[in-house]
Homo-oligomer: A and B are copies of this chain.
Amino acid sequence: MEYAIIAKYILSFHDNSPMVIENGTVLIDGTDIVGVGKDLNIDDAEVINFGNHILMPGLINTHTHAAMTLFRGYADDIPLDSWLNDHIWPMESKLSSEDVMNGAKVAAIEALLSGTTTINSMYWHPDAEARAFSEIGIRGMIGAPIISGINTVKTFEHIFSDWHGKNDDMTRVSINPHAPYTVTGDEYLQIHEYKNNFNQSSDIPINMHTHLAETKFEMEMIRKYNLENGSAISDDIKTSTEYLDSLDILDDKIIVAHAVECTDKDIKILAENKVGVSLNPISNLKLGNNISKVDQMYRAGVKLSLGTDGPASNNSMDMFETMKINSLLQKSVNNDPSRGKAFETLKMATYGASKVIGWNTGAIEVGKKADIILIDLNKPHLQPIFSHNSLISNLVYATKATDVSDVMVNGKWRVRNREIPEINLKNVYENLNKSVYRLIE
């Protein structure tokens, strides 16, 4: 089926700048964008004219643990050690595949309704997350964390054959060493080799997805962990980014989440190796960590994108909120309101993120997959709009996730006028709550 979607503003990117077409049309054929402009032939298409809306690329959340909606609001406001050791990890040890399915469905619904069309989720029972995402209709990269002593690169091989590139390529699988303080250097090397071997024989490459440089204690933990587990680590390595670089595993098929504690040298390493970074500003604040040097990384040419992190450390999947906070923080930490420009952040959440995660989405242009959202501008908090700059300012600083009226993923409508047809939300919420009550018993 072919759609011709008309909106007051079509927002995308051209080279390094925003591109706005007023009263433009986007043509969709199957899963693809096949036309963008003002005077297109729309004779054979179903025409949908949204009027006073922005049509733009769907947001891409490049780091989360989706099913952790299960633990939203659980044991907040307590020290990090106790939160993990006394609360989150004991609960996670009881998780069933069904619990993960119940949690991931709520996350996928929440994401879609807030304009996110792609999620990158690292979590247990990744097949349950894959099923949840495909049932709800969101594009998703899934994969369990690999942690020494718990599982290995081999544990999840069936997930690759069951899910990678399946579901019309809306589901992909990544290989996820949890973090350099829970996985030895030797294991990172095995995982890296597995990735390279896989990618030599696959049309659709896989990414490695790992946590990196989240806390200031991490390097100390890495050194201790490797020494205790008989993995060599040189004395002259000062940071976790230097450490991964020393393993020679950094390339353009690795997504590192957080990148908070980065030196100038680290930023250079990330840029030179074309590493994809997922910034998680809200989670970093909530867990009492520092603020990433986003402005500096942006200027150094690091491939940047944004993530919410898990709903237990945020506590939402709201990428609009994430965009606003990402820009605001850079102004304050640099004591300069001209840093963290709205457009830079908007690009991180869309076009930039598509370069990090690898799907052919993130822009409104011919040949891209049709992951599209519509923003309803008939809202008090989105008045006035008087220039393309003010449009982009409003998007990042004033738009609420709930201003998203309609969402299309891979050419298929998933949200129409803020409703998700075919999904019984009440059942989904009840199932989540049932899992939670069982887990906290």
Contacts and interface: CB of A to CB of B under 8 A. Distances in A.
A131 interface: no
A8 interface: no
A425 B380 contact: yes
Given A289-B335, A315-B393, A315-B394, A378 B429 contact: yes
A381 B325 contact: no
Interface stretch (A57-65, A179-187, A198-206, A279-287): A279-287
Contacts of A77: 337-338, 340-342, 393
A319 to B, nearest CB: 12
Interface in A371-393: 378, 380-381, 383-386, 389-391, 393
A318 B328 CA distance: 15
B400 A78 contact: no
A389 B311 CA distance: 16
A225 interface: no
Contacts of A317: 381
A257 B385 CA distance: 28
Contact of A288 (B114, B282, B337): B337
A337 B72 contact: no
Contacts of A286: 328, 331, 337, 397
A338 B79 contact: yes
A389 B76 CA distance: 9
B83 A337 contact: yes
Describe A's contact surface by its main secondary structure: helix
Contacts of A285: 328-329, 331-332
A70 B383 CA distance: 8
Contacts of A78: 337-338
Contact of A401 (B109, B311, B331, B400): B400
A13 interface: no
Residue among A288, A317, A324, A440 having the largest count of chain B Cβ atoms under 10 Å: A288
A338 to B, nearest CB: 5
Given A76-B393, A337-B77, A397-B314, A70 B329 contact: no
Contact of A72 (B290, B291, B335, B394): B394
A410 interface: no
A384 B288 contact: no
A54 to B, nearest CB: 13
Contacts of A167: none
A121 interface: no
A417 interface: no
30 contacts: A73-B389, A73-B393, A76-B337, A76-B342, A76-B393, A76-B397, A77-B393, A79-B336, A79-B337, A83-B337, A106-B383, A109-B380, A285-B332, A286-B337, A288-B332, A289-B332, A290-B332, A314-B397, A315-B394, A316-B398, A325-B325, A378-B426, A378-B429, A380-B425, A380-B428, A384-B432, A384-B433, A385-B433, A386-B440, A400-B402
Interface of A: 69-70, 72-74, 76-80, 83, 106, 109-110, 113-114, 282, 284-291, 311, 314-318, 321, 324-325, 328-329, 331-332, 334-342, 378, 380-381, 383-386, 389-391, 393-394, 397-398, 400-402, 425-426, 428-429, 432-433, 436-437, 440
